[in-house]
Amino acid sequence: MLITHDTRCALDTVVDLVNTAPEDDVAADGLPDVPALADFVRNHDISDVGVLSEFDLSAVRRVRGRFAAIFAAPDARSAAGLINELVAAAGTTPRLTDHDGYDWHVHYFAPGASVADHLAADCGMALAFFVVAGEQERLRRCEAPDCRRAFVDLSRNRSRRYCDSRTCGNRLHVAAYRARRKEATG
């Protein structure tokens, strides 16, 4: 599957956005306030965003929940329905643009759109490309029991199981190794 630069950026953004959600009632929200949202926008080079407000923060959190539902969708038909609703609500307006040193690429959000609509349109379309390509199962959650972070499996054989092999994957492999050693020594 060919993934363009802007689609890859949108995928990274949607994964990072979903992963800002608290995993339980005790965990902190990764987007606790408007300055955190401004940092998120800046760190992900999200263009055409005006002054952010509490309204934007609330709207982005709602969109984040809708993206989380797409990562949890049991099949392509369910994911497609969720993506269609999300993108339609954002009022997509595909247009070609070349800004900030990037070659021609497509933006799916309308000029002047809110940051939530911007994210819903561009990131929603990036996820739509995966469903169209029959690759919806690549939108995953980490299989580590104590981690449910979202990720997109871009491995050749769709074999990635953990959000990060150096943390979650390694931790589980070490635990399994220790359990085998303990069992062997009796």
pLDDT value at 106 more than 90: no
Q: Which amino acid is at 138?
A: R
Give the pLDDT of residue 93.
82
Q: What is the mean pLDDT of residues 69-78?
A: 95
Banded model confidence at residue 50, pLDDT cuts 50, 70, 90: confident
Instruction: Express each pLDDT in 161-170 by its tens digit.
Output: 888 867 787 6
User: Residue 151 in contact with residue 114, Cβ under 8 Å?
Assistant: no
Q: What is the mean pLDDT of residues 68-89?
A: 95
pLDDT value at 172 more than 70: no
Angle 54-72/5-18 helices, nearest 10 degrees? 100
The β-bridge relationship of strands 139-141 and 105-107 is: unpaired
Give the pLDDT of residue 90.
92
Print the SS3 string covering 16-69. Answer: HHHCCCCCCCCCCCCCCCHHHHHHHHHHCCCCCCCCCCHHHHHHHHHHHHHHHH
What percentage of the chain exceeds 70 in pLDDT?
95
CA torsion through residues 13, 49, 97, 70, sign: positive
pLDDT value at 47 more than 90: no
Banded model confidence at residue 40, pLDDT cuts 50, 70, 90: very high
Candidates 168, 132, 162, 138; CA nearest to 152 is 138
pLDDT value at 41 more than 80: yes
Instruction: Express each pLDDT in 108-151 by its tens digit.
Output: 888 888 999 999 999 999 999 999 999 999 999 998 888 889 99
Rounded Cα distance between 33 and 7, Å, is 27
Give the pLDDT of residue 130.
93
User: Residue 39 in contact with residue 68, Cβ under 8 Å?
Assistant: no
Give the pLDDT of residue 175.
66
